[in-house]
A and B are shown apart, each in its own frame.
Chain A
Amino acid sequence: MNAAAVDRSRFEFLLRAGDNGLILGQRLVVLIGHAPILEEELGMANVALDLLGHARMWLSYAGEVEGANRTEDDLAYFRGASEFRNALLVEQDNGDFAATIVRQFLFDTWHARALGAWSASSDERIAGIAQKAKREVDYHVTRSGDWVARLGDGTDESHARMQTALAQLWPYTGELFIADDVDRELAARGIAGSPEELRDAWLGDVAAVFARATLSIPEDAWTPSGGKRGLHSEHLSYLLAEMQSLRRSVPGTRW
């Protein structure tokens, strides 16, 4: 295997990790000013900030690995939807608060498991970012898990909304655990373990909280996928249009 191919896989890995944080962070920041209570607003803003912080570290490194002089900002603001590598789950609409929380919980629990595995990466920089992010994401898991339990085991209305959100979003979790050629190469190189290996532990994590929440896990059926290869739902283009418009209409602008 030649060095250029390895770098391509590493670059893809960093885009996938970075884009998950960037896109979910962007989803959350648009809720600022709209959260149901002040404390939740702070929570959402803090989680979004953490995710953006992680995205900056992953995308900066991605730019260095690519070696084409692209900065984190170039990668965030000047790629089109088909160049994004985030999982489909994180680009799904905010919907009602149940959908926002279920999406967050499904992602947070996967994220914590993935970061745990990446903490042992043979790439020291990846391991360092993962170890740092993991400490923050553990808080995210607690927060979204508490909400899932509270709303699932809440009123008839909140329970019904949570169950509906879970039915809608569950299919998007399948993609998180499907390995492709990039994943297989990364695993062979010790850069990141295979995503399939995370599934059992993750299922245990979510099942425990759904039991507390009196929510039933939907049957596995249709599994949309393709986010990691740049095949996205139309939601992503709208999100990018909003996120990128200022930077694209006024190139080089700074706060």
Chain B
Amino acid sequence: MTASVAQVWEWLEGVPDPEIPAISIVDLGIVRDVAWSGDELRVAITPTYSGCPATSMIQRDIVSALHEHGLDRVRLDVELSPPWTTAAISASGHDKLRAYGIAPPNPDIAVACPRCGSTAVECTSTFGSTPCKSLYRCTACREPFDRFKCH
């Protein structure tokens, strides 16, 4: 079976990140390219953090999602270069992170509490529950929250 590249992108947008299921792997910028090579679909992906335990789950999820849509011949090409950065996260990805309670990684604006919007926040730990996040606390509403690191 075959499908248009645009259709494949749409399917991949339905594959959530295993650690932050509010955002898809396409929003995260993990999927770099989709192309047919004869009757084999090639999906180029890039890992986020080198040690992220979700990386192998993401690869498995991509293949199984495409299998469910009837694509049997899928090849994943892992590209390291250029390295992934948080600049690859889409605008809709930023909105979804915020709605999920995670301050998105925007180096140009002050970190704001995803609950009350205040910028009166403090970083409590550069390293958080996953490699991609830091721990913050809002001093206005007292909410502790995660911030996606600018990387």
Contacts and interface: CB of A to CB of B under 8 A. Distances in A.
Contacts of A43: 125-127
A133 B131 contact: no
B51 A51 contact: yes
Given A129-B80, A135-B83, A39 B127 contact: yes
A50 interface: yes
8 closest cross-chain pairs (CB), A and B? A53-B50, A53-B51, A49-B51, A128-B81, A39-B125, A128-B80, A43-B127, A132-B83
Given A46-B131, A124-B81, A132-B80, A53 B125 contact: no
A42 B125 contact: yes
Contact of B129 (A42, A53, A136, A142): A42
Interface in B75-95: 80-85
B49 A50 contact: yes
Nearest to A132: B83
B50 A143 contact: no
Interface in A91-143: 124-125, 127-129, 131-133, 135-136, 139, 142-143
Interface residues of B, number: 22
Interface in A45-89: 45-54, 56-57
A54 B50 contact: yes
B91 to A, nearest CB: 22
Nearest to A127: B81
A143 B83 contact: no
Given A124-B81, A129-B80, A131-B81, A52 B51 contact: yes
B127 A46 contact: yes
Nearest to A125: B80
Given A39-B124, A39-B125, A43-B126, A131 B82 contact: yes
A13 B126 CA distance: 32
B50 A42 contact: no
Contacts of B53: 49
Interface string B59-82: 000000000000000000000111
A43 B127 CA distance: 5
Interface of A: 39, 42-43, 45-54, 56-57, 124-125, 127-129, 131-133, 135-136, 139, 142-143
A76 B80 CA distance: 22
Contacts of B51: 46, 48-54, 136
Contacts of B131: 46, 49-50, 136
Contacts of B149: 139
Given A131-B83, A132-B81, A139-B149, 14 more contacts: A42-B128, A42-B135, A46-B127, A46-B131, A49-B49, A49-B51, A49-B53, A53-B52, A54-B51, A57-B80, A127-B81, A133-B50, A142-B126, A143-B127
B76 to A, nearest CB: 15
A229 to B, nearest CB: 27
B142 interface: no
A51 B84 CA distance: 17
Contacts of A46: 51, 127, 131
B124 to A, nearest CB: 7
Chain A CB within 10 Å, residue with most, of B47, B49, B53, B129? B49
A125 B81 CA distance: 8
Contacts of A51: 51
B151 interface: yes
